[in-house]
Amino acid sequence: MRREVFFLQGQLLFTDECRSFPPDDLPLLTARLRLPQWEGTGGRPFNRYYAAYGRAFFSYCQSVLLPQAQEALAAARENGGALPEWQIGLDTVVTLHTDGLLSLYTDTVERCSARRMVLRRSETWDLTDASLVPLSRFFPEGRRWRRHLLSAAAAQIRLQQQQGVALYHPDWQRRLRTAFNSDRFYLTEQGLFLFYQMYAIAPAAEGIPAFFLPWNEDGGPVLPE
């Protein structure tokens, strides 16, 4: 089977877009996004991926958040309360960009009345063939990398609790295992970060818990050449 290789030679740019819902009359919801785009050779799979991501984001605003905002508006008018001003934003943060790898995450922040919700999503790309890289690629073959990651995260949680700098759910050890998702990681020049969604293992005040593993740690992640 012939394998077509896309050599991404070009420039990483960002597209910004803002929409109001509904588009006319009284806007109840403002949605903004900032997503990456590759300008150059072989960027088509990359751009298709984030174009679909952007469409899904605005579809969620239209089909899920807008009806909720309309209900909040009706309740405010009935009770004489303040009119709702809902906002949602999606921003992109690039954490590592080398000749062969691109790692980034997107944070979607919802500000709906008194509620604030953050959802993080991450992707790491192999720039030689425009493919997504799995977490297992950064650990030596045969290593029990999932166990190593969970042990490292648990050790960091215990240290944070001893220092009194973070608060976790009483059953965080069980949640750490059950909420683990191998897609939730990103790379930096210093090492690898594993993260959990808001509320998964800690109260909302802790935001997005993230745990750091430096490169070439014994049994830990290895950055490919």
> Averaged over 152-176, what is the pLDDT?
97
Question: Which of 132, 155, 173 finishes a domain?
Answer: 132
The answer to whether residue 219 sits within a structural domain is: no
pLDDT score recorded for residue 7: 65
109: domain CATH number is 3.30.565.40
118 and 61 assigned to the same domain: yes
Let me know whether 150 and 125 are in one domain: no
184 lies in which domain range?
135-214
Q: List residues bridging with 222 in a β-sheet.
A: none
User: How far is 204 from 199, CA to CA, in rounded Å?
Assistant: 6
| pTM to 2 decimal places | 0.91
Domain-ending residue, one of 132, 148, 180: 132
State mean pLDDT over 161-166.
Answer: 96
Query: Of 114, 132, 150, which residue constitutes the final position of a domain?
Result: 132
- Note the pLDDT of residue 222: 87
pLDDT of 18 over the 60 cut? yes
Distance CA 187, CA 116 (A): 26
pLDDT of residue 5: 55
Supply angle C-alpha 13, 129, 149, rounded to 5: 85
Residue 204 covered by a domain: yes
Q: Is residue 224 one of the residues assigned to a domain?
A: no
Give residues with Cβ within 8 angstroms of 74, minimum separation 6. Answer: none
The whole-number pLDDT of residue 201 equals 98
Q: Which of 124, 59, 114 is nearest to 90 (CA)?
A: 59
**Nearest one of 141, 147, 138, 49 to 100, comparing CA atoms:** 138
Tens of pLDDT, residue by residue over 27-61, are 889 999 999 999 887 789 999 999 999 999 999 99
Measured at the alpha carbon of residue 95, what is the angle toward residues 44 and 200, in degrees to the nearest 5?
100
Specify the higher pLDDT residue, 210 or 75. Answer: 210
In DSSP terms, 102 is beta-bridged to 97, 125
Supply the CATH number for residue 155's domain: 3.90.640.20
